[in-house]
Structures are given as C-alpha cells and as structure tokens.
Amino acid sequence: MRTLALGLVLGFVTANVFAANAVPVDKGAAAISAANSKIAFVGTHSGDKPDPRVGGFGKFTGKVTVDSTGKLTGVTADIDATSIFTAIPKLTDHLKTADFLEVREYPTAKFESTKVTPGKEGTATVTGKLTLHGKTQEISFPVTYSMSAEGLSLKSDFTINRGEFGMTYGAGKVDDKVSLSVVVGEKTTAP
C-alpha cells in the first residue's frame, strides 16, 4: 500500500521529463536552477497509513555537464535549505527546525558528483558527495537523460536515509527513507 501511494505521489511530482523543456547546453554545461529544474521530496509516516508529505526546494543552482558526444559527465548542485516548501505551512516551518534540516546552522545543502557510470543509451549512475544537515555522505542514483538541439533533459528518482545525515526526529513514527526526485527541464512550482 505504501509503495502504491508513494508511486502515485512521485508520479505527480515527476511528469515525463522528455516532454519537459530542455535546458540549453553551453560549452558542455547546462546551468540549472528553480527556473528550469526541480528538486522534490516525499517523506512518509511509518505504519499502515503512510500519509505522504510532498515538498521541494525553491532556490538552488548547479550544472549538469556532458562531453562532446552528449554523454553525461557530472552533476553539481547548491541548494538553499531555507527555501524548502510543502503545501502545509506548519510542516514547512517544522522541517526548517533542529528536528530536521536545522536551516539556521546549515543553510545550504550540496551535491557534487565524483563518478558517472554510463548505462544503456540515455542512462547512467551518478555517484557523489551529498552534504545535508552538516554531514557528508556518498550516494549513488540512476538518471535517465536525453540531448537534443534544444539542450538537455534529465530525470532521477531515488531515496536517501535521513538518519545518515543526523536527522533522527520521530524515529519509529517517520520513515528514515526520503524519496527524492530531480527533473532538469521542468520548472519548480511551489504550492
């Protein structure tokens, strides 16, 4: 049941990336921001009624790099943690506190790829360092991407364990796994 609910929510969050607008590539790099990309998340409560909580970040910058053949070579992002949003103002405020992101002390989250492993055409696995809540962990996630005359489109859906980043509030009531969705070529929209 939780998988179905999460799938429906992620389906809402991540529409078909290749129907989205491509981001222009200049000198091997596509500059990303909330104006042309989105970083969204889904957190759930533990138990039979997962009560998914959907949100995202309204401010971030970064780049996706490709080689001369259009193969993905890297991803970086600087995320303004204070720009987190959900449809529930009270939840948004709580996520900014020491219980979760602690944005006063850690106002920025960062990702920098260290390796890109090519897969089948238009796919790859990106490995890199994610810094969140003042802690850095290595993560890997799958991406699907396409290059066209208009530029680059990219989509990735994956999970992280919030406990690995020192966010343990609500243990046993809030799942440690947080689903993330990154779409390059689809503008961020806050509720």
Distance CA 118, CA 72 (A): 8
Q: Do 56 and 85 meet the contact criterion of CB atoms below 8 Å apart?
A: yes
- 72-80 and 37-43: which strand pairing? unpaired
Residue 124, phi-psi category: left (phi > 0), alpha (psi -120 to 50), beta (remainder):
beta
How many CB atoms are closer than 10 A to CB 46? 15
Picking from 169, 178, 168, 104, the residue whose alpha carbon sits closest to that of residue 141 is 178
Q: Do 55 and 101 meet the contact criterion of CB atoms below 8 Å apart?
A: no
Digitized pLDDT (tens) for each residue of the chain, 191 residues in all: 343 333 434 443 333 444 458 999 999 999 999 999 999 999 998 877 778 999 999 999 999 999 999 999 999 999 999 999 999 999 999 999 999 999 999 999 999 999 999 999 999 999 999 999 999 999 999 999 999 999 999 999 999 999 999 999 998 899 999 999 999 999 888 77
Residues 6+ apart with CB under 8 A from 18: 146, 153
For the question of whether the overall pTM of this predicted structure is more than 0.85, the answer is: yes
Distance CA 42, CA 20 (A): 21
Domains (range + CATH), the chain: 2-184 (2.40.128.110)
Q: Do 111 and 127 meet the contact criterion of CB atoms below 8 Å apart?
A: no
- 112's tokens: 């920098």
